[in-house]
Amino acid sequence: MSLAVSSTQLNDAMDALKVHWDRTIPLWRDIVRTDFEENYWEPLQPQVEGALKAIDQMMQVLGKMRRECG
């Protein structure tokens, strides 16, 4: 699997997860949800964004390597 495909899949999965998470908001209103949101959901988005940036950087490095090394 290429890095571009992995990046797209990760981005699509995060988008789908956001849709599902948003659907829970009116249905799940207790301390467990608040704890989950603070400890897992809120940190997840920056982590995924960081992973996507790292994948993009890796694609650039590999592309440069292929161009320079044939």
Tens digit of pLDDT at every position of the chain (70 positions): 799 999 999 999 999 999 999 999 999 999 999 999 999 999 999 999 999 999 999 999 999 999 999 7
pLDDT at position 56 is 96
pLDDT at position 1 is 72
Cα–Cα distance, 66 to 25 (Å, whole number) = 47
| SS3 state of residue 37 | helix
Task: Give the closest residue to 1 by CA, choosing from 59, 51, 50.
Answer: 59
Cα–Cα distance, 12 to 45 (Å, whole number) = 13
